[in-house]
Amino acid sequence: MLSNTTRLLIIHALCHLAMIVYFDLSYFLMSFLWWQWIAASAIASGYHRYYSHNSFETGKWYEHYVNILGMFANPGPVLTWASAHKQHHRHADQEKDPHSYIHKGWFACYTNTWGWDANIERIHTKKLFRNKTVMFYYRYYFHIITAIMATLYLIHPVLFTYVFAVPVVLAFHGYGIINILGHRGGKPRNSVLANILTAGEGWHKYHHERSKDWKNGNKWWQWDFAGLWIRAIKHN
C-alpha cells in the first residue's frame, strides 16, 4: 500500500501537470484569489493556528469547514499536518524537527519528501487522536479528496484545474518556500514572498516568538489575511 506521503505527492504531480496542460493567465489570476481564501480561512487559520497552536476558539462548524476546504490545498489530514507542525516548534531547526532545512536538506523540505521518514513523537498526536472530527477526516481523507477531484474533472478538466489543481500547486510552493526561506541560517526568518503566497504566514520569525498568537506580525504593514478571518469568527 502506498504511504500517505506518496499519495499526496502523486496528487501534487497531477495538479502540476493539469496546470501546464490547461494554463490560462486570466483563470490563473482568479484561481490565485480562490487560493488566498483557502489559505487564509482553512490552512493558515485552521490547520495552523486553530489545530496546531490552539490559538483561538470558535464554533464546532469550523472544524468541518477546515477539514473539507483544506483539501483544496492537499496538505494531508489535519492529524498528520498539525502533529508534524507541533514537533517542528518543539524542536525547531534541530535534528528532531521533521522538516528542518539544516538537517533534511532543501529538496526534502521544499518537496515534502521529508514525510517519508518523519518520526512524530506521540506527545504531539494525543490531543488530536481524541478529536472525533479530526479522526473521521483522517480515515476518509483520500476517499473524499478523490471524489472531489473526480467530480470536478468529469464536469470539465478546466474546472478541475482552476478550482482544485492551481490552489494545490500554490500551496505546494508557498509552504515549500516557508520551509526554506523561513529558516535561513538555522533561525526563523520573515519572508514577504512566502507571506504573499500563504495569506499571512510569512512573518515566520514573529510566529516562532509568539506561536500562541492568533495573528501573525506586529507591524501595521505586516499583512495577515488569516488574522482578519480569525478576528471575524473567534469567540471573545
- In the structure grid, which three cell numbers stand for residue 16, read together? 502540476
Q: What is the pLDDT of residue 112?
A: 92
Q: What is the pLDDT of residue 220?
A: 85
> ∠ at Cα 133 (232, 150), nearest 5°?
90
Dump pLDDT digits (tens) for 173-217: 999 999 999 898 888 999 999 999 999 999 999 999 999 999 998
Residue extents of the structural domains in the chain? 4-233
The three-state secondary structure class of 125 is coil
**In this model, does residue 74 exceed pLDDT 80?**
yes
The rounded distance, in Å, linking the Cα atoms of 222 and 211 is: 16
Residue located via cell numbers 496528487: 11
Average pLDDT of the residues of the chain: 95
C-beta contacts of 136-145 below 8 A and 24+ residues apart: 137/67, 137/68, 137/77, 137/78, 138/77, 138/78, 138/79, 138/80, 141/71, 141/76, 141/77, 142/4, 142/7, 144/68, 144/71, 145/11, 145/71, 145/74
DSSP letters of 70-114?
Answer: GGGG----HHHHHHHHHHHHHTTTSTT-TT-HHHH-HHHHHHTGG
Residues 162-168: what's their mean pLDDT?
A: 98
DSSP 123: G
Question: Worst-scoring range by mean pLDDT, 81-85, 114-118, 182-186, 189-193?
Answer: 182-186
5 Cβ partners below 8 Å, 6+ apart? 76, 112, 113, 115, 116, 118
Q: What is the pLDDT of residue 47?
A: 98
Does this model's pTM top 0.75? My answer is yes
**In this model, does residue 139 exceed pLDDT 90?**
yes
The rounded distance, in Å, linking the Cα atoms of 72 and 34 is: 10
Question: What are φ and ψ of residue 203, in 5° steps?
Answer: -85, 65
Q: Which of 107, 109, 55, 59 is nearest to 84 (CA)?
A: 109
**In this model, does residue 1 exceed pLDDT 80?**
no
Partners of 203 in the beta sheet? Answer: 190
Q: What is the pLDDT of residue 101?
A: 83
Q: What is the pLDDT of residue 176?
A: 94
C-alpha distances in Å from residue 158, one per residue of 4, 48, 149, 168, 169: 27, 30, 12, 14, 15
